[in-house]
Chain A
């Protein structure tokens, strides 16, 4: 208890001082948290404060953000060739930066990262591991990570997971994520090691193989993508297996849109009380977002600044308006290849300017991610159809076309959706059109053969890792 108190003070002092944190101290704190839960069954009453930090009070939050920004900008101006150029001669000294003055600095785009990756690597950081984005939305970017970052993020993740009871020593986590998602898989394995849980890095296996590994208590926690979860649900229902065949207590998904229809089906099929839908992105790790019961995304403001900028003007988006998430991870949470004002092009809607009532109300939130800016369908000056609207509507069809395969485009001021035959089979085109209209998606339909389904919309589940004996098979409609 005394030692743990000293470790907590060291962590808190490190966070406030802005120096690199001791990852060894953090690892030991995770072990202390595991022991605490073994003894008490739950953490002490102020555990959320340990994780949440000073986010509830706006003034404290602003002060915290300013200090984080200045610290980060000062380092980047000296250590990052890209930002040394960008910040040189700028209107504001890095040490005098605040949230308002930050807007004078242009956002960083994915193109910047792809074209000049070496310029983003800080001169005082030691490169350890590189990870590439999967490229489902364009050319992949390569991100270098330091050993310190990997230890730090897994330590912070494990501490949060243990305290929130997301990972227990008795858990075995099945990780059905692409093996190319190097950062995600390495971090998940390291997090499990610190939390003293088992970890099965399985990859995007053929769904039946994955189900075999989940059945009979092969895993208690499943981490995957919504599209692959959809394939698992379809395969499980086809095999007639249900909640009694699994010992899952938690499913966590991220990286794609999770529709309510698929979420409900997964809960029923696997027998878990709820699905955790997170937001994160390799370029801006470790700034992540959690989805609350009212379907807001609440971003972790301890590790970075999150702005929502209007899609056209680039100014802060108004309440109720669409905006792109622009994220700045703070030093010392981002070390090797940090970004300042990284424009994710992930679109959210700003929440109305009124107090939140959800369980995460202490942290500001936005709507869930609605899709990439490039995937929005603009039908008029004010009418925009988002990928989330389309996926929610299509996946709620009674034909259970999971994961949703579609193509959407504007045609003469009207929405046109292309669907594979299987998506409407047994339900009919007219009923489908009516169903979509009721879900708020009034569109004309184009039906194509199932052989074209995968071309309509690429999902992460398409990154199947097959064996020699097994041909790749298309699942989903």
Chain B
């Protein structure tokens, strides 16, 4: 998402910077999610596991979000994003750090980003500080949510189909109805813009939190399903087809939109490859591991928890 009104920087240079930014984001989120998955357990509800209908619900929410953003005033969107970041981060990290440190740190990050959005965007340094704060929030949020889903039972199959569905949506919203362009234009510089990125000179480069979430999900789901080799493949696919290929494709295809933004639907490149990789792994390795099978395997580096209390209750009815 190189976003600038000036094309003083050559397109090839913009593309390579964009690729570098996206690759950093993809690597950080994939490795971070994997690290978290191997070592920490997210609390889950007593009953419930991720299934195909949950994917449908997620997609419905994603489809509705742009319209939601369109009708809400800026302050309401900021509040909504504050809540979203706070919820996603508290799910993943509240139990891992001292509550005072967690809530203090979170408040500082959110507050500083909101403040800078209003008062420090006149300089490149101001933008860069703003981006760094945002990047921390986005990466930590994507790591947390991807673990919530996969540790909640989301399977590689779900991720593969989710990515394909997102690819259709991404292409449609980016190239057909231009919703993505409008959102990017509206959000850049706004508080808590859900994007991982950075600014070099007059240009912002970035990748949406949704794309990073899918890469994290794919990596963690591959690891859970088939282990280390699958995870390595997933990271490779995420970096090459999720970050590098979409960033470099403007060198081959003109994708400059009506606002002079270059918006590339990343899932168009990533999702088909991820889906084929899923089919290949299923054929090569067989059935995916369940979460219970993963936890019992050597791939799990998290401390082993005591099994559930065996149950003493019987139910024959005396008469």
Contact = CB atoms under 8 A, between A and B. Distances in A.
A177 to B, nearest CB: 6
Contacts of A132: 319
Contacts of B48: 1, 4-5, 8, 32, 36, 44
B153 A277 contact: no
Interface in B9-49: 43-49
A129 interface: no
Given A252-B314, A279-B318, 11 more contacts: A2-B54, A36-B153, A41-B295, A50-B47, A160-B313, A184-B316, A184-B317, A223-B315, A281-B317, A282-B319, A288-B317
A292 B35 CA distance: 41
Interface stretch (A115-123, A162-170, A209-217): A162-170
A36 B318 contact: no
Interface in B284-319: 290-292, 295-296, 307-319
Measured as residues with beta carbon below 8 angstroms from the partner, the interface class of chain B is: 20 to 34
A180 to B, nearest CB: 8
A50 B48 CA distance: 12
A38 B288 CA distance: 13
Interface in A109-143: 131-134
Contact of B308 (A43, A276, A291): A43
Contacts of B313: 160-161, 164, 166, 276, 278, 288, 290
B49 A39 contact: yes
Nearest to B308: A42
A108 B51 CA distance: 49
A254 B296 CA distance: 36
Given A1-B153, A276-B312, A290-B314, A43 B319 contact: no
Interface string A259-280: 0000000000000011011111
9 contacts: A2-B57, A39-B292, A133-B319, A184-B317, A223-B316, A255-B318, A255-B319, A273-B310, A359-B309
B152 interface: yes
A65 interface: no
Interface of B: 43-51, 53-54, 57, 152-153, 290-292, 295-296, 307-319
Nearest to B43: A45
Contacts of B308: 42-43, 47, 165
Contacts of B44: 40, 44-45
A220 interface: no
Contacts of A278: 313-316
A467 to B, nearest CB: 23
A49 B43 CA distance: 15
B65 to A, nearest CB: 16
Interface string A176-214: 011011011001100100000000000000000000000
A476 B315 CA distance: 25
A40 B312 contact: no
Contacts of A224: 316
A317 to B, nearest CB: 22
B258 to A, nearest CB: 37
A163 B310 CA distance: 10
A46 B57 contact: no
A236 B310 CA distance: 27
B62 to A, nearest CB: 14
A42 B309 CA distance: 9
Contacts of B307: 41-42
A184 B312 contact: no
Contacts of A360: 312
Nearest to B48: A4
**4 interchain residue pairs of minimum CB distance:** A164-B311, A255-B318, A252-B314, A41-B292
B47 A4 contact: yes
Interface residues of A, number: 70
A210 B299 CA distance: 45
Interface in A399-443: none
Contacts of B45: 1, 4-5, 8, 44, 46
Contacts of A292: 312
A383 interface: no
Contacts of B54: 1-3
B153 A49 contact: no
A253 interface: yes
A134 B311 contact: no
Contacts of B295: 41
Interface string A294-329: 000000000000000000000000000000000000
A22 interface: no
Contact of B46 (A2, A45, A274): A45
Nearest to B309: A359
Contacts of B317: 181, 183-184, 187, 254-255, 280-282, 285, 288
Contacts of B291: 39-41
B153 A252 contact: no
A34 B318 CA distance: 27
A278 to B, nearest CB: 4
Contacts of A285: 317
A1 B51 contact: yes
A391 interface: no
A193 B249 CA distance: 56
Contacts of B153: 1, 36, 39-40
A237 interface: no
B46 A44 contact: yes
A110 B295 CA distance: 53
A33 B47 CA distance: 5
A92 interface: no
A5 to B, nearest CB: 6
A177 B316 contact: yes
A304 to B, nearest CB: 14
B46 A1 contact: no
A287 to B, nearest CB: 11
Contact of A165 (B43, B152, B310, B315): B310
Interface centre among A36, A132, A280 (most CB of B within 10 A): A36
A273 B51 CA distance: 35
A164 B311 CA distance: 5
A165 B310 CA distance: 7
Contacts of A223: 314-316
B181 to A, nearest CB: 30
A256 B311 CA distance: 20
B51 A35 contact: yes
A276 B314 CA distance: 5
B318 A293 contact: no
Interface centre among B45, B53, B54, B292 (most CB of A within 10 A): B45
A387 interface: no
B311 A184 contact: no
A157 B311 CA distance: 13
A153 to B, nearest CB: 9
A344 to B, nearest CB: 10
A166 B47 contact: no
A31 B316 CA distance: 21
A282 B319 CA distance: 5
Interface centre among B51, B153, B314 (most CB of A within 10 A): B314
Contact of B319 (A33, A134, A160): A134
Interface centre among A32, A44, A50, A252 (most CB of B within 10 A): A44
